[in-house]
């Protein structure tokens, strides 16, 4: 008796599932087993990348998100069963992102929109700080929580990088491009001392009172710059734009994964879908036969 037959028996006898439910599991897993067979592999040798590639294949074929989720649920079930039976040593389906998050792709600005945004000149006394933060956000693809948490000692402006403390207290080093470095140096030389007024703070970006910038305050400032540039803007939009433009420029997924601080590359892979979506849009707009 093979793994799929054993699993079906387990669902019917041990779990008491109705015949229709058992059949649904069996159909989903038979398709996955066929996919694995095309790769020259058996179910007992599956890994996380096999699952990710299969779910991507279903999506590329136009399968509904609900169908992909059902397939993922079936694969999770058989993976847990094989783990319990000692067929595999670890669960490859653990911590996989739910396909339901595929319903909407991350929004990314066009290169023209980014250029327009970075040309906006703020009118208040804190504009130099705000533009500096916008430059850095787009330069290095940071989360807004990481941006406001940067300390002065985290920068190495001569070497062109910043040390970031990300999710789960995981540290990473991220490159900073020259224009952002120029903005940071100008902010340090001209505005930050005026804001601090002799006070001391470890944090790079501070308010008019010398306190660390908060996410909410930066969000408010960013909304104003987005409105001036004519784009719908949020901190995460700039992170998505960074990732999308890096891929379009030829960056490899592993390098992008490290820069973004993703623990699982399957999270980074969604940006390949964004790039493909944009490519289709450009093709449909400009190809003479489209």
225 catalytic? Reply is no
For 57, list phi and psi in degrees, rounded to 5. Answer: -65, -45
**Given 48, 143, 192, 245, which residue is catalytic?**
143
**DSSP letter string over 185-249?**
HHIIIIIHHHHHTT---SBSSB-TTSPBP-HHHHHHHHHHHHHHHTS---HHHHHHHHHHHHHHT
239 catalytic? Reply is yes
Of the candidates 98, 26, 37, which has an alpha carbon nearest to the alpha carbon of residue 65? 98
**Contact of 187 with 128, CB cutoff 8 Å:** yes
**Contact of 238 with 138, CB cutoff 8 Å:** yes
For 151, list phi and psi in degrees, rounded to 5. Answer: -105, 160
**Given 167, 177, 185, 227, which residue is catalytic?**
167
Q: What Å distances lie between residue 209 and 104, 213, 266, CA to CA?
A: 39, 10, 42
262 catalytic? Reply is yes
**Given 48, 192, 245, 262, which residue is catalytic?**
262
81 catalytic? Reply is no
287 catalytic? Reply is no
**Given 100, 199, 236, 283, which residue is catalytic?**
236
- In total, the chain counts a number of residues equal to 290
Strand 171-175, strand 155-156: pairing: unpaired
Q: What Rg value do the Cα atoms of the chain yield, rounded? A: 24
**Given 192, 239, 240, 245, which residue is catalytic?**
239
**What's the CA gap between 89 and 81, in Å, rounded?**
11
**What's the CA gap between 49 and 40, in Å, rounded?**
14
E strand or H helix that includes residue 171:
strand 171-175
CA 177, distance to chain mean position in Å, is 20
Enzyme catalytic residues: 143, 167, 236, 239, 262, 271
């Amino acid at each position: 008796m093979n793994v799929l037959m054993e699993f079906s028996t387990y669902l019917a006898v041990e779990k008491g599932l109705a015949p229709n439910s058992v059949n649904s599991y069996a159909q989903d897993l038979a398709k996955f087993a066929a996919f694995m067979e095309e790769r020259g592999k058996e179910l007992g040798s599956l890994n996380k990348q096999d699952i990710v590639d299969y779910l991507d294949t279903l999506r590329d074929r136009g399968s509904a998100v609900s169908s992909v989720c059902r397939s993922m649920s079936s694969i999770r079930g058989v993976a847990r069963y094989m783990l319990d039976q000692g067929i595999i040593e670890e669960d490859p389906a653990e911590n996989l992102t739910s396909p339901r998050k595929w319903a909407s792709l991350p929004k990314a600005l066009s290169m023209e929109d980014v250029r327009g945004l970075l040309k906006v000149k703020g009118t208040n006394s804190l504009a130099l700080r705000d533009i500096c933060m916008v430059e850095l956000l787009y330069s290095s693809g940071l989360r807004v929580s990481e941006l406001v948490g940067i300390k002065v000692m985290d920068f190495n402006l001569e070497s062109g990088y910043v040390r970031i403390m990300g999710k789960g207290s995981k540290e990473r080093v991220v490159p900073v491009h020259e224009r952002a470095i120029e903005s940071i140096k100008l902010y340090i030389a001209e505005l930050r001392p005026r804001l601090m007024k002799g006070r001391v703070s470890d944090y790079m970006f501070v308010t008019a009172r010398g306190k660390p910038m908060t996410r909410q305050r930066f969000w408010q400032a960013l909304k104003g710059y987005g409105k001036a540039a004519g784009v719908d803007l949020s901190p995460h939009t700039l992170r998505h734009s960074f990732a999308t433009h890096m891929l379009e420029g030829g960056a490899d997924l592993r390098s992008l994964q490290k820069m973004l601080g993703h623990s699982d590359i399957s999270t980074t892979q969604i940006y390949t879908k964004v790039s493909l979506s944009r490519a289709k849009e450009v093709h449909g707009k400009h190809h003479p036969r489209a």
